[in-house]
């Protein structure tokens, strides 16, 4: 009984440490993604919204809102996990964790849960501001929660894998700048793929972030371009893949014991 209790201490300590870190710099960790989403809502929601009255029977502003909220969640989870772990690696303080009686899964879980907390806070902030600009109704709260939990977890794992792989800060920005950001903007945030020509609509289905945004939008407003089962399958598969990758990288000491 004592062993089970004490085994939780390293995990809770890691969660509290990373949570306190991003709360200390809340003006950098929480406000910028909220501000970016609000600007998108004002610029696209109202400027384009005056020209595009509705999509799939939903106002344009309400249509893009789930995608903008998901953008904030994705980038917050990824940045929180990747930079929290990379800073430890850069300062070589991660070596203290590796020699301490802490399981690999606890390091991964502690970093992931703290990153998820940050992404949830950003998502709630965007949602709160959005309530001042438009009326919001939620179609299915359980699908909504399932997607936001799985996706924040997925990009937390992706951030950990990136931090372990990267050798410097330039490499840290490669995935967010050249992969995550473009795929997010091309993932149906501002449009339905039904509005695209057939060849581009088919090409868009190879973008995994499309399934994340589309599934989250379905839980939010009940509108989707892709069957919800496919969206769940893609998100769960990618989450499991990055989790296994993180465990493998820690167990093998990938770029940690060099």
Show me where the domains of the chain are located: 2-251
Residues 233, 146 contacting (CB under 8 angstroms): no
Mean per-residue pLDDT, 174-192: 88
Q: Indicate if the pLDDT at residue 137 is higher than 90.
A: no
In percent, how much of the chain has pLDDT > 70? 94
Burial of 133: CB neighbours in 10 Å, binned 0-12, 13-18, 19+: middle
* Listed residue (68, 60, 72, 76) closest to 159, CA to CA: 76
Mean per-residue pLDDT, 103-127: 92
CA distance 140 to 18: 32
Instruction: Quote the pLDDT of residue 258.
Output: 52
Lowest mean pLDDT among 54-63, 154-163, 222-231: 54-63
Cα-Cα-Cα-Cα torsion 231, 235, 236, 239, nearest 10 degrees, comes to: 180
CA distance 33 to 20: 19
Residues 80, 119 contacting (CB under 8 angstroms): yes
Q: Indicate if the pLDDT at residue 52 is higher than 60.
A: yes
Around Cβ 142, how many Cβ atoms within 10 Å?
Answer: 8
What are the two backbone dihedrals, phi and then psi, of residue 174, each rounded to the nearest 5 degrees? Answer: -60, -50
Residues 74, 209 contacting (CB under 8 angstroms): yes
CA distance 240 to 200: 29
Model-level pTM greater than 0.85? yes
Q: Indicate if the pLDDT at residue 134 is higher than 90.
A: no
Residue 216 DSSP SS3? helix
Q: Indicate if the pLDDT at residue 28 is higher than 50.
A: yes
Mean per-residue pLDDT, 45-74: 82
Instruction: Quote the pLDDT of residue 50.
Output: 62
Instruction: Quote the pLDDT of residue 121.
Output: 95
Residue 55's H or E segment, with its range, is strand 54-55
* Listed residue (87, 90, 79, 91) closest to 115, CA to CA: 79
């Amino acid at each position: 009984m004592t062993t089970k209790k004490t085994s939780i201490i390293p995990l809770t300590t890691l969660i509290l440490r990373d949570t306190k870190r991003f709360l200390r710099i809340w003006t950098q960790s929480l406000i910028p993604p909220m501000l970016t989403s609000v600007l998108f809502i004002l610029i696209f929601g109202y400027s384009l919204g005056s020209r595009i009255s509705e999509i799939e029977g939903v106002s344009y502003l309400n249509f893009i809102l789930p995608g903008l909220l998901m953008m904030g969640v994705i980038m917050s989870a990824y940045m929180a996990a990747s930079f929290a772990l990379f800073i430890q690696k850069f300062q070589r303080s991660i070596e203290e964790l590796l020699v301490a009686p802490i399981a690999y899964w606890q390091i991964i879980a502690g970093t992931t849960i703290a990153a998820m907390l940050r992404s949830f806070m950003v998502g709630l902030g965007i949602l709160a501001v959005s309530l001042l600009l438009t009326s919001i109704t939620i179609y299915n709260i359980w699908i909504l929660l399932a997607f936001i939990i799985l996706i924040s977890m997925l990009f937390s794992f992706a951030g950990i894998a990136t931090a372990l792989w990267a050798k410097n800060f330039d490499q840290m920005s490669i995935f967010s700048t050249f992969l995550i950001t473009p795929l997010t903007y091309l993932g149906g945030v501002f449009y339905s793929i039904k509005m695209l020509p057939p060849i581009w609509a088919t090409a868009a289905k190879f973008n995994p972030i499309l399934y994340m945004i589309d599934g989250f939008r379905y839980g939010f407003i009940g509108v989707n371009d892709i069957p919800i089962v496919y969206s769940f399958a893609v998100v769960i598969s990618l989450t499991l893949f990055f989790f296994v990758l993180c465990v493998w990288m820690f167990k093998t000491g990938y770029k940690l014991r060099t």
